[in-house]
Amino acid sequence: MLLLLLAAAGALMAADQPLSFSHAAHIEKARMQCTDCHSGAKTRDNAGIPSIRRCMACHQFIATDRPEIGRLAAYWEKQREVPWLRVYGFSKDAAVQFRHAPHARAEIECARCHGDVASMTVAVPAVVHTMGTCVQCHRDNSASDDCVACHF
């Protein structure tokens, strides 16, 4: 309950990302789809974080007068990737192998596991994933609850 209240107040902690990226701006103004940037999210294990090359394909020409795009271009000129901080993930010790593709084939929406990213600025950890939440949904959908399905 407390967690819901905090979420409603917009208090979910966003990571302190190196640039003030906005998901909402790219989906509303640039009319982009999730997979335009996270190209593996439907077909591979990892959704992937877009490389700076993807950003600069547009931002060599778009909004170049904005300070935030100036900072993006500064990484590009130094031939560096933007050092985005990870939002989701499991400790190495847990030896989890999550795979996006089977979930896309089962037509599970991104929002079910990541919340309404389309209206977020930077991604916040809107959905908590534990072994319990994974296994519960697998049992509800007759998906595997074998240890080796999720662990290597």
Q: Which of residues 87-106 bind ligand HEC (CB under 6 A)?
A: 87-91, 93-94, 96, 98-100, 102-104, 106
86 binds ligand HEC (CB under 6 A): yes
Q: Which residues pair with 96 in a beta bridge?
A: 151
SS3 of 151, please? strand
Assigned token pair, 86: 């990870």
Smallest gap from residue 5 Cβ to ligand HEC (A):
23
Smallest gap from residue 79 Cβ to ligand HEC (A):
16
108 binds ligand HEC (CB under 6 A): yes
24 binds ligand HEC (CB under 6 A): no
Tell me the site size for ligand HEC, rule CB under 6 A: 76
Using CB atoms within 10 Å of the CB of residue 114, give its burial: 0 to 12 exposed, 13 to 18 middle, 19+ buried: buried
Assigned token pair, 102: 């089977």
131 binds ligand HEC (CB under 6 A): yes
58 binds ligand HEC (CB under 6 A): yes
- Which ranges of the chain does DSSP label H, i.e. alpha helix? 2-8, 23-28, 34-37, 52-59, 67-77, 100-105, 110-114, 131-140, 147-150
Q: Which residues pair with 151 in a beta bridge?
A: 96
139 binds ligand HEC (CB under 6 A): no
76 binds ligand HEC (CB under 6 A): no
37 binds ligand HEC (CB under 6 A): yes
